Amino acid sequence: MTREEAPHTQLEEDMRAFLVDRYAGRGGSNHTMSAYATDLRALADFLKQRGVADARSVTVHHLRAFVAGEVRRGMAKTTLARRLSCYRSFFRYLMREGRVEGNPAALVSLPKLPRKVPSFYFQEEIGGLLNSINGSDPLLLRDRALLEFIYATGVRVSECVALNVGDVNLTEGMALVLGKGAKERYVLFGTCAAAALRDYLSRRPPLQPADPLFLNHRGGRLTDRSVRRILDRRIAEVAHLRRVSPHALRHSFATHLLDGGADLRVVQELLGHASLSSTQVYTHTSRERLVQVYQTAHPRAIRADSAKDE
């Protein structure tokens, strides 16, 4: 379903109303709204072919048949999982509106997704990257402040570039971030990031609270793509440093906090995760790091490969 299409059935009317309520009315991103509109259109087309034009007539059997068909066509599990999440939300909305009595999508199992270990930098790599950015040039100061801030706070790049000067309290080491779903949260940063921000902001013209925190070379707000280019350029200046995405700095933030003994729920709060399960992926990364350090440092730790050589 697109915004230009005129819905022809009650089911399509309900889908359109759901999109308006769930996203246009709640500050959802255009990308998410577009993805959900595509997901709903696919289901509407499937049901129309079976003569189903009202949400009250949709059964779990319809949804399971739809899922089975998408699996046969080779749809990625991540895409299918997103679609089922969309359909569950859609029927929850209809229940709230009194349009249906139950949620048939809740009875359809999500495909088991492979758990990917996030890419991240070890602490020595982060130190090498940040310490390599030296000088008094305004762009150098900006790049150092930008990367120090992302690593210190764990903010998403989109959250970082949306920040204004007034959102950041250098004295308290705290910033107010607008995250996913238009939810606000406070993030913290330490003395290194605060010092880098002070150095950078001191070279800017007189500041107003509504001014963007990070500017491009033309004086406009940085974009997500600009941050990627900045990181790529700085990585290229450090010998033997792996190329990673800006999101890996967020992964590094979470991993290093857990390595240092931080509570998982504290990390969840700082990352702005709605579910603890989203944060738990970093415990795998931390355990791998612990094993690596143990096997390297403990005098009586015998690795499997060493034992085989004997």
Q: Following DSSP, what letter does each residue of the chain receive, concatenated?
A: --TTSPP-SHHHHHHHHHHIIIIITTT--HHHHHHHHHHHHHHHHHHHHTT--SGGG--HHHHHHHHHHHHHTT--HHHHHHHHHHHHHHHHHHHHTTS-SS-GGGGSPPPPPP-PPPP---HHHHHHHHHT--SS-HHHHHHHHHHHHHHHH---HHHHHT-BGGGEETTTTEEEEE-GGG-EEEEE--HHHHHHHHHHHHTSSSP-TTSBSSB-TTSSB--HHHHHHHHHHHHHTSTTPPP--THHHHHHHHHHHHHTT--HHHHHHHHT-SSHHHHHHHHHHHHHHHHHHHHHH-TT---HHHHHH-
pLDDT for the residue 300: 75
pTM of the predicted model as reported, rounded to 2 decimal places:
0.61
Per CATH, the homologous superfamily of domain 123-297 is Intergrase catalytic core (1.10.443.10)
Residue 181 neighbours by CB distance under 10 Å: 13
Bridge partners of 177, per DSSP, are 185
Residues 6+ apart with CB under 8 A from 24: 33
Among 116, 49, 28, 103, which residue's Cα sits nearest to residue 77?
116
- Tens place of pLDDT per residue across the chain (310 aa): 544 454 578 999 999 999 888 765 555 566 778 888 999 999 999 999 999 999 999 999 999 999 999 988 988 888 888 899 999 999 999 999 999 999 999 999 876 666 666 788 999 999 999 999 999 999 999 999 999 999 999 999 999 999 999 999 999 999 999 988 788 999 999 999 999 999 999 999 999 999 999 999 999 999 999 999 999 999 999 999 999 999 999 999 998 998 888 888 888 989 988 778 777 777 766 666 667 667 777 777 755 444 444 4
pLDDT of residue 4: 47
pLDDT value at position 3?
46
The tokens for 194 are 């605060």
For strands 184-188 and 174-178, give the pairing. Answer: antiparallel
Could you say which architecture CATH assigns to the domain 10-107?
Orthogonal Bundle (1.10)
Contact between residue 162 and residue 180 where contact means Cβ atoms under 8 Å apart:
no
User: Which residues form the catalytic set?
Assistant: 156, 180, 247, 250, 273, 282
State the distance between the two ends of the chain, measured CA to CA, in whole angstroms.
Answer: 64
- Look up tokens 């350029």; give the residue: 233
CB 189 within 8 A of CB 180: no
Q: What is the pLDDT of residue 284?
A: 65
**Domain residue limits, the chain:** 10-107, 123-297
Gap between the Cα atoms of 55 and 91, Å rounded: 8
Q: pLDDT value at position 194?
A: 97
Cβ-contact 204, 137 below 8 angstroms: no
